[in-house]
Structure 1
């Protein structure tokens, strides 16, 4: 099964296998998302899941704590920590 990921800033629509890491999808598609540490500790890859938040894995306690420290709303995630299980629209926010 494949999913559709729409990177809103570039209006780039790509298909990927369900369960794929958003970081891999973005890298393969050439999406304009900057990944710093790739481990969820720097916030460089912060995104807003504009549509399909329920199609993403739940944030880990570490990611949740990191985003809470930024006062980020629930629709914001660290792209390096997201796996996609259904269609999503992604907006890159950065730091």
Structure 2
């Protein structure tokens, strides 16, 4: 089954297999998301999940702690830590 990921800032709509890491989808599509460490500790890939937050993988402890330190709202995630389980709309925020 495939999912649709809409990168809002560049109005880029791509399809990928369900369960694909958002980082892999963004890289393959050439989406304008900067990835620094790719391990969830730098925050350069911070995104807002405008639609479909419930279709993203659960947040791990490291990602949760990092975003809590930024006082980030619940709709923000680190793109390098998200696996896409369904259609989502993504807005890149950066750090």
Instruction: Say yes or no: TM over 0.5.
Output: yes
- What does residue 67 of structure 2 align with? 67
Q: For residues 87 and 60 of structure 1, what CA distance do their matches in structure 2 show?
A: 21
- What does residue 28 of structure 2 align with? 28
Partner SS for 2:80: helix
- Flag as ranges the 4+ runs of structure 1 deviating above 6 A: none
Q: For residues 21 and 9 of structure 1, what CA distance do their matches in structure 2 show?
A: 19
Q: Provide the alpha-carbon RMSD of the alignment.
A: 0.2
- What does residue 13 of structure 2 align with? 13
Q: CA deviation at 1:56?
A: 0.2
Can you list the C-alpha shifts for 1:37-66, whole angstroms capped at 9, x where unaligned? 000000000000000000000100110000
Partner SS for 2:63: helix
**Matched pairs, number:** 95
Q: CA deviation at 1:14?
A: 0.1
Partner SS for 1:42: coil
Partner SS for 1:5: strand
Partner SS for 2:28: helix
The alignment's TM-score, normalised by the length of structure 1, stands at: 1.00
- What does residue 92 of structure 1 align with? 92
